[in-house]
Structure 1
Amino acid sequence: MTSSVAALVRYALVGVVNAATYYAVYLLVLVEVGYLTAHVVGLGAAMVVSFFLNCRFTFGVRPSWQRFVLYPASQAVNIAATTIGVVGLVALGVDERVAPLAAAVLAVPASFLAARFVLARGGRPPVRRPEVDPDPATLRLTVVRR
């Protein structure tokens, strides 16, 4: 599996945790406020969880204040897509408790690319290379015959 594909898989796993965080907060807040306010509050809580998990688990970078400040900007695509999706789906008659889940799935690919750009500086995280034993006595040469 290429490192980009592996990162996308890790991003999707973080997305499951993120979605659970968002949805739990959304449902808790929905009891007190309207669906749109619940959506915004849920996004805020989930974004903090998502930031730390994506830094460490997905991209293998150290969380920093600079990344934390920039991370919401990277999620602008996700926020716009899910907000438009939630409002549109509810307007189409989809249950307020189900609409956020469908909208979130549709936003994953673009959100991943934006997060990778901000958290991993647009590229892949550094590859961890195994240490090489510098002792020449332990080095072996392999001859390949054709």
Structure 2
Amino acid sequence: MNTKPLVKEIMRFGVVGVIATVLHYGIYYFLKAITNVNIAYAVGYIISFIVNFYLTSYFTFGTTPSWKKLAGMGGAHLINFLLHMTLLNIFLYLGISKVWAPIPVFAIVIPVNFLLVRFVFKHNKL
């Protein structure tokens, strides 16, 4: 079995993930000063999701975006978003500061997200 394509795919996913995560965190970081942390986090997530979808389509998996892929990725990200929000609030409850609480969230949800998104783009033939 040739694992090179999978390794390259994971590396491209990582690049896209870093871009989406930095965008998400940056938006969250600035909005948390003027609004509720959950709203700031959600707005950052939505904007980074849109960018992530196009980068994932073109760069990570080399496919063209479609409404079906958007729906599939949206479903995967709905699960991912719920996991994000749950973990964020758990870490805030445990006393981690608003500035640092997203960091362990990202560490947990990024691998889960890869598996969900890869399934949508590779196995559904959308």
The question of a shared fold, defined as TM-score above 0.5 by the shorter chain, is answered with: yes
Q: CA deviation at 1:4?
A: 1.6
Q: Which runs of 5+ in 2 are unaligned?
A: none
Q: CA deviation at 1:122?
A: 4.6
TM-score normalised over the length of structure 2: 0.88
Distance 1:82 1:104 in 2: 8
Distance 1:78 1:10 in 2: 19
Which contiguous aligned blocks of 4+ residues in structure 1 show a shift greater than 2 angstroms? 119-123
| Contact 1:14/1:50, CA 8 A, preserved across alignment | yes
Match of 1:49 in 2: 51
Write the mapping of 1:120-131 to structure 2, written as runs, cut at 5 A: 120-122=122-124
| Contact 1:78/1:111, CA 8 A, preserved across alignment | yes
Q: CA deviation at 1:2?
A: 2.2
Q: Determine which structure has more spread, i.e. the larger CA radius of gyration.
A: 1
TM-score normalised over the length of structure 1: 0.77
| Contact 1:14/1:54, CA 8 A, preserved across alignment | yes
Q: CA deviation at 1:10?
A: 1.2
Match of 1:108 in 2: 110
Which of the numbers 3, 6, 10 marks the counterpart of 1:4?
A: 6
Distance 1:28 1:65 in 2: 31
| Contact 1:82/1:107, CA 8 A, preserved across alignment | yes
The superposition leaves residues 63-99 of structure 1 with CA deviations (integer Å, 9 ceiling, x where unpaired) of: 1122123221112332122211110111111111111
Percent identity for Structure 1 against Structure 2: 25
Larger helix share, 1 or 2: 2
